[in-house]
Amino acid sequence: MGNLFKNRAFSAVWIAQASSALGGTFATFIISWLVYELSGSKMAMGSIWITFMVPSLLTTLLAGPYLDRFDRKKIMILSEWVRAAVFLVPLILYPLGLLNVWHLYIVAATLGVAEPLFRPTSMAYVAQILPKDRLMKGNSLLEGTMQLMMLIGPALGGLLMSVLGVVPVLSFLVFCMAVSGFVLLFIPSAKKKVASEKKETWFVQFKAGLKFYRIYPVLFWIGILLMISNFSSGAAMPMFLPFVLDHLGGNEFQYGLFMSAFPLGMLLGSLVTGTFNQPKNLRRVMLGSLWMGGVLLALLGWVTTYWMALIVVMFSGFFAMVFTINNTTFYQKRVPDEIRGRVFAVRTLLAQSGMPVGAAFGGLFAEMYSLTALFTLLGILSIITITVAWFAKVFYHLNDEIEEDQATLQVAVTK
């Protein structure tokens, strides 16, 4: 790991992502808390997530093809500073007693526009500044650090909420996101020089990203699996606050601790994954991790004690991270640099498109039935999907050797 920090650009991205992740966990915590405090409605909890997810998907769809045209450094800075600025709205209105739920919808929609610019751009930037033999270690360190911040954030946010109130939490998250953008000012610019400077239309550029999935169809089907998995996540995550407060009888600090359990599992997963080389049987590791996630989600619906719920969620995070790191590295090693932004944007679009549908379904289903029924149904859906995928021939290509002739691959994509 020490060799990674000799790369100054990587070190700056690492610091920026850590600060951004800490602020982001405060953001998720405080928005959920404020919406439930002001409305008390499970439907409102689901709809605030939809308000974030729909603009996120639209931004991914429209901006994705252009991410390779602009300076990746500037895109990341813009994303962080917009996120910092929008939280000034609740920071100013809440102590004045003027904050309403509709203000929070504006905040969520703005975050939905700004946040998806950062993730595919940062992945493409890291793949550009690190050699391929260090990508697994680099991804493990970045993901592990991000999950460490996400581990600290919710519990710290819950503690600050219970002791100091809402304003310190809002102030701290604005500071974290502003610092993230400031640190990124010192990394080298990363606008890739391409052979052709002609201006292509949105459709032509997006199609170039899509063509890559013809060459590696297994990546398309992994995206479909993620879509279904994220449908379950999108339905379950907005319900975690009422799950802790109502189903388990917890308080704000216990909710924060509960939200920290998943990142703790992800941190452990990143440490384990970063210790070993990429597994030879990726199919078994990736599909097995998703399958275990479904089992644990179904189990969560039947848990009635707070500490058992923490354990279940922690193991869910562990298996989610094992899948995430291996999946990201699989992409980075196979996608030519010139189209990484577009391909990662298509990947994000595929993976996240199930989340707003899930959020709408989860809020409605939980209001009509129960959280136990919701979590059980979502877990069974994931289990069935991954079981079917296990026997599908296309997923055996996860164990294929990497394409060595990247020039030939690039020509095939851009034709």
pLDDT digits (tens, 9 = 90+) for 223-249: 888 899 889 988 998 899 889 988 999
Q: Can you give the pLDDT at residue 161?
A: 82
Helices 306-334, 217-236: crossing angle, 10 deg rounding: 160
Average pLDDT over residues 280-308: 93
Distance CA(40)–CA(33), nearest Å, equals 10
Contact 151, 257 (CB under 8 A): no
Whether residue 195 lies inside any domain: the answer is: no
Q: How many domains does the chain have?
A: 1
Whether residue 192 lies inside any domain: the answer is: no
Distance CA(82)–CA(37), nearest Å, equals 25
Q: Can you give the pLDDT at residue 192?
A: 53
Contact 91, 167 (CB under 8 A): yes
- Per the rule left: phi > 0, alpha: psi between -120 and 50, beta: everything else, 402 is beta
Whether residue 117 lies inside any domain: the answer is: yes
Distance CA(413)–CA(266), nearest Å, equals 34
Q: Can you give the pLDDT at residue 122?
A: 80
Min mean pLDDT across 138-142, 157-161, 191-195, 314-318 is at 191-195
Distance CA(208)–CA(336), nearest Å, equals 12
Contact 316, 262 (CB under 8 A): yes
Question: Any residues with CB less than 8 A from the CB of 247 and at least 6 apart, and which?
Answer: 304, 371, 372
Q: Please give the distance of CA 5 from its chain centroid, rounded to a whole number.
A: 24
Return the structure tokens found at 239: 């319900």
Res 408 pLDDT > 50: no
Average pLDDT over residues 283-298: 94
pLDDT interval class at 392 (50, 70, 90): very high
Whether residue 382 lies inside any domain: the answer is: yes
Q: Please give the distance of CA 252 from its chain centroid, rounded to a whole number.
A: 24
Distances in whole angstroms, Cα of residue 72 to Cα of each of 23, 29, 67, 121, 264: 21, 29, 7, 6, 30
DSSP-derived secondary structure letter, 305? S
Return the structure tokens found at 322: 């094992």
Distance CA(3)–CA(112), nearest Å, equals 35
Mean pLDDT for all residues in the chain: 83
Whether residue 33 lies inside any domain: the answer is: yes
Domain containing residue 240: CATH number:
1.20.1250.20
Whether residue 190 lies inside any domain: the answer is: no
Average pLDDT over residues 87-104: 92
Res 215 pLDDT > 90: no
Q: Can you give the pLDDT at residue 294?
A: 95
Q: Can you give the pLDDT at residue 405?
A: 46
Q: Can you give the pLDDT at residue 195?
A: 44
Whether residue 194 lies inside any domain: the answer is: no
Res 129 pLDDT > 50: yes
pLDDT interval class at 196 (50, 70, 90): very low
Domain around 306: 6-184+201-414
Res 385 pLDDT > 70: yes
Span 299-308, pLDDT tens digits: 999 999 999 9
